[in-house]
Amino acid sequence: MRTFVLALLWTVLFAAIPLPSAHAQAAQDPTPLEFVDPVEEKRFRGLIAELRCVMCQNQSLADSNAQIAHDLRREVLVLMRRGLGDAEIRQHLVDRYGEFVLYRPRVGAATFVLWFGPALLLLGGGVVVWRIVRSRSRDGVVPHDDTQEW
Amino acid sequence: MKLQRWLPLAVFGLVAALLAAGVWLSRNPDRDALPSPLIGKPAPAFRLPVLHEAGRLVTDADLRGSPYLLNVWGSWCPGCREEHGVLTRFAETRRVRVVGYNWKDERADALRWLEQFGNPYWVVLVDYEGHSAIEWGIYGAPETFLVDADGIVRWKHVGPMTDDTVREQLLPALDAVGG
């Protein structure tokens, strides 16, 4: 029994640690991007901070040094210069990589819990507390308890 | 009143179940793989050079007419080495054309790699810049797409394919597209 519990514990502990993925990325030395003016650079920085690196997944395109992040940053700049709006650029990437590339997921059926779950939880907790408080105040004074010694 | 006494336990049970579900879901080794939005949609248009024949270009239209498997690889990619035997065994069955997509690789490295480990590909296309790869939603290697005779993407696998992947996913997908 003890070994079973220990084994279970180890399984639970190590299931959470990500294994190194065999899905690899290319490594090349990229040339830095050049901007025509500070306005373009500012818009670009804003955009890539909101897009997720598909390879590294917990970093934005702005933070990641992965090759695919370099490629996608370049793509974003190309699309900007082609005259696409911010929403169009986001949609362009969503069409190819899925909703996942957006750091701020759009409100929809699949992301409803993500957006409103915490608020609903808070509301539920509030209702519970309110009901407890109300039932106690309706009871009025705490009735005399004979088991109490004082 | 009785109900309220059990409330904390119920909440604890709920949270425990949630955590257990998280642990259970994270057992899947492919959990980081992104589902492709291209499934059921036409493969992106491309025009790529061929590795073994300088000057020859292949387009998406050239490959239409019967299904093909597009396998993204690079000589720099350890997972591709891991997958190579599986892919070779599948290619030997000659069920569909296996098209190599050599991604962000040096030509000499790619040729050497194929000479060393064998070339299971019907044709190898080269995407050195990786621009066309973005159209495909490729974000790493190996990745494998099944495209049907009409040029519609039917299946995608991220990471090295195993014999199990071929048997349990690729072959049924092939049956479905009549390949």
Instruction: Decide if A26 and B38 are in contact by the 8 Å CB cutoff.
Output: no
> pLDDT exceeding 90 applies to what percent of chain B?
80
Q: Give the residue carrying structure tokens 């490594």.
A: A27
Chain A contact set for B130 (CB, 8 A)? 26, 67-68, 71
Chain B hits for A97, CB-CB cut-off 8 Å, are: 34, 37, 137, 139
Average pLDDT over residues A36-49: 92
Closest CA to A15 of B33, B28, B32, B27: B27
What pLDDT is attached to residue B42?
Answer: 94
User: Whole-angstrom Cα distance, residue B74 to residue B25?
Assistant: 30
Residue B1 banded pLDDT, cuts 50, 70, 90: low
Kindly tell me if the per-residue pLDDT of A47 is higher than 90.
Answer: yes
Set of chain B residues whose Cβ sits within 8 Å of the Cβ of A26? 74, 76-77, 103-105, 130, 141
For residue A15, the distance in angstroms to the closest alpha carbon of chain B comes to 6
The residue-averaged pLDDT of B80-101 equals: 95
Count contacts between A and B (CB, < 8 Å). 84
Closest CA to A19 of B19, B143, B30: B30
Which of B18, B19, B102, B134 would you mutate first to test chain A, the one with the most A CBs within 10 A?
B134
| Yes or no, beta carbons of A57 and B32 under 8 Å apart | yes
Which residues from chain B sit within 8 angstroms of residue A22, using beta carbons? 78-79, 82, 159-160
Q: How far is CA B172 from the centre of its chain?
A: 15
User: How big is the CA angle at A22 (ends B117 and A51), to the nearest 5 degrees?
Assistant: 125
Closest CA to B129 of A64, A78, A121: A78
Show which residues on chain A lie within 8 Å of chain B, measured between beta carbons.
12, 15-16, 18-19, 21-28, 54-55, 57, 67-68, 71-72, 75, 94-98, 100, 128, 132
More reliable by pLDDT, A120 or A142: A120
In the predicted model, is pLDDT for residue B175 greater than 90?
A: yes
Contact B68, B58 (CB under 8 A): no
Confidence class for position B76, pLDDT limits 50, 70, 90: very high
Amino acid, single-letter form, for residue B53: E
Confidence of residue A67 (pLDDT cuts 50, 70, 90): confident
Q: What is the ipTM of this complex?
A: 0.79
Contact A23 B133 (CB under 8 A): no
Q: What is the structure's pLDDT at A108?
A: 78
pTM beyond 0.80: the answer is no
Residue B98 — φ and ψ, nearest 5°? -100, 110
CB distance A96–B137 less than 8 Å?
Answer: yes
Chain A positions in Cβ-Cβ contact with residue B158 (cut-off 8 Å): 23
The reply to whether residue B141 touches residue A24, judged by beta carbons under 8 angstroms, is yes
Over residues A17-28, the pLDDT tens digits come to: 545 566 776 665
Whose structure tokens read 């049956």?
B175
